[in-house]
């Protein structure tokens, strides 16, 4: 058991991705609650900085560029960041990622204690060689928020229930989004985010187009199709499939996307960062799951629903389907998604009245 003083310096290492960073926030919040006078800093990829930039619970962020489209000076950025980190003389570095890379960074930080998951919970087992403190228990079967919280048991603090993260959106992003919505003449809308980082997480775009049209015919509600910069071409092609009921969002940052989601009536999408933002913001949402298990990364807010068909190969966590069929997503039908979306819409309307 590690005993920390009230003025301790804590470094969190969770580099990416957006959903994983969001799922680490409850652990940071619990640390801040237990150590209100501590210094809590965070190392992450600069492309995800927006999700933490306005969080008052974090003292400082260190940004790396290994996954950034800005490739210039990535090694200089790395060296400068860790030169500053080592000067701070952190009491503890906590690796919430469980990779060899992230565990090596915890060791490189120079912190007195380098904390990481027990070996069964690691994504890469050789990461264990860079830690000098790990919990005694394995939490791999739990929701990822609970698994992350389990690391804090080494300080004799632990909250065993999944709890929603808190996302802070800047006033500038809120104002910018309201202006964008005026340009689109959108008052009421729902967010459709049909993209995902893995091929196996994608639901067929033709299904989304059909769903949007049926939902519009029934409710008159427009679907705002959101996209990341690298998805713009695909988003334009998708809009050609939608004969009615859909409008393409203007370019967004993570901050603006969060503001768009906050102002929406509901959200639909797969296991992506946009969906986890919606979950953190307690929005009514419909999540479509296949290669990942909802019990591990699914939404936890009371207004969320998940569609997931348990097949023999479900929950494989593979970026490419080992059986070349992605039936876990294909077996989700337009009709069942439509019926669930209608029920969520009706329920959210009742709650708003």
Residue 78 domain flag: yes
Q: What is the pLDDT of residue 156?
A: 87
Q: What is the pLDDT of residue 141?
A: 73
Asked if residue 335 and residue 270 are part of one domain, the reply reads yes
pTM, entire model = 0.95
Q: What is the pLDDT of residue 1?
A: 80
pLDDT band per the 50, 70, 90 thresholds, residue 30:
very high
pLDDT tens-digit map of 305-318: 999 999 999 889 99
pLDDT band per the 50, 70, 90 thresholds, residue 350:
very low
Q: How would you label 36-75 residue by residue, b for 16+ Cβ within 10 Å and e otherwise?
A: eebbbbbbbbbbbbbbbebbeebeebbbbbeebeeeeeee
**CA 43 – CA 57 distance, rounded (Å):** 14
pLDDT band per the 50, 70, 90 thresholds, residue 161:
confident
CB 102 within 8 A of CB 95: yes
Of 108, 124, 155, which one is at a domain's C-terminal end?
155
Q: Which domain holds residue 19?
A: 9-155
pLDDT band per the 50, 70, 90 thresholds, residue 351:
low
Residue 131 domain flag: yes
User: Pick the residue with more confidence: 207 or 184?
Assistant: 207
How many helices (DSSP H) and strands (DSSP E) are in the chain?
Answer: 13, 11
CATH code at position 200: 3.40.50.2000
**CA 298 – CA 174 distance, rounded (Å):** 27
Residue 168 domain flag: no
Asked if residue 330 and residue 184 are part of one domain, the reply reads yes
pLDDT tens-digit map of 272-298: 999 999 999 999 999 999 999 999 999
Residue 89 domain flag: yes
Residue 228 domain flag: yes
Using the predicted structure, report yes or no on whether residue 72 has a pLDDT greater than 90.
Answer: no
Residue 161 domain flag: no
Using the predicted structure, report yes or no on whether residue 344 has a pLDDT greater than 50.
Answer: yes
pLDDT averaged over every residue in the chain: 93
Using the predicted structure, report yes or no on whether residue 67 has a pLDDT greater than 90.
Answer: no
Which residues does 77 contact at the CB level (< 8 Å), separation at least 6?
Answer: 46, 63, 64, 65
Asked if residue 204 and residue 86 are part of one domain, the reply reads no
SS3 annotation, 198-263: CHHHCCCHHHHHHHHHHHHHHHCCEEEECCCHHHHHHHHHHHHHCCCCEEECCCCCHHHHHHHHHC
Asked if residue 67 and residue 147 are part of one domain, the reply reads yes
Asked if residue 181 and residue 33 are part of one domain, the reply reads no
Asked if residue 330 and residue 183 are part of one domain, the reply reads yes
Residue 164 domain flag: no
Mean pLDDT value across residues 40-68 = 95
Question: At 326, phi and psi to the nearest 5?
Answer: 45, 45
Give the whole-number percent of the chain exceeding pLDDT 90. Answer: 84
**Element (H or E) spanning 87, and its range?**
helix 74-88
Using the predicted structure, report yes or no on whether residue 353 has a pLDDT greater than 50.
Answer: no
């Amino acid at each position: 058991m590690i005993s920390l003083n009230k003025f301790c310096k804590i470094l969190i290492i969770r580099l990416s991705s957006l959903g994983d960073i969001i799922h680490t926030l409850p652990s940071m919040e619990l640390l801040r609650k237990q150590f209100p006078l501590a210094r809590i800093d965070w190392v992450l990829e600069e492309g995800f900085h927006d999700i933490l930039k306005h969080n008052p619970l974090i003292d400082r962020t260190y940004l790396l560029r290994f996954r950034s489209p800005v490739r210039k000076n990535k090694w200089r950025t790395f060296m400068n960041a860790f030169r500053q980190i080592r000067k701070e003389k952190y009491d503890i570095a906590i690796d919430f990622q469980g990779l060899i890379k992230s565990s090596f960074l915890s060791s490189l930080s120079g912190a007195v204690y380098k904390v990481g998951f027990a070996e069964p919970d690691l994504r890469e087992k050789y990461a264990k060689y860079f830690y000098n403190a790990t919990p005694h228990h394995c939490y791999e079967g739990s929701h990822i928020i609970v698994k992350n919280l389990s690391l804090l048991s080494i300080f004799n603090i632990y909250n065993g229930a999944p709890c929603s993260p808190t996302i802070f959106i800047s006033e500038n992003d809120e104002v910018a989004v309201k202006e964008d919505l005026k340009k689109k003449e959108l008052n009421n809308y729902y967010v459709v985010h049909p993209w995902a980082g893995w091929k196996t997480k994608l639901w067929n775009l033709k299904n989304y187009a059909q769903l949007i049209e049926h939902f519009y015919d029934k409710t008159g509600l427009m679907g705002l199709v959101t996209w990341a910069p690298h998805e713009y071409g695909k988003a334009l092609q998708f809009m050609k499939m939608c004969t009615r009921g859909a409008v393409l969002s203007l370019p967004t940052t993570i901050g603006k996307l969060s503001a768009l989601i906050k102002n929406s009536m509901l959200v639909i999408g797969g296991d992506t960062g946009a969906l986890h933002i919606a979950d953190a913001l307690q929005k009514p949402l419909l999540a479509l799951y296949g290669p990942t298990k909802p019990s591990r990364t699914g939404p936890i807010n009371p207004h969320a629903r998940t569609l997931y068909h348990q097949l023999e190969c479900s929950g494989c966590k593979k970026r490419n389907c080992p059986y070349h069929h992605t039936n876990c997503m294909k077996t989700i039908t337009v009709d069942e998604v439509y019926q669930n979306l209608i029920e969520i819409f009706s329920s959210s309307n009742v709650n708003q009245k």
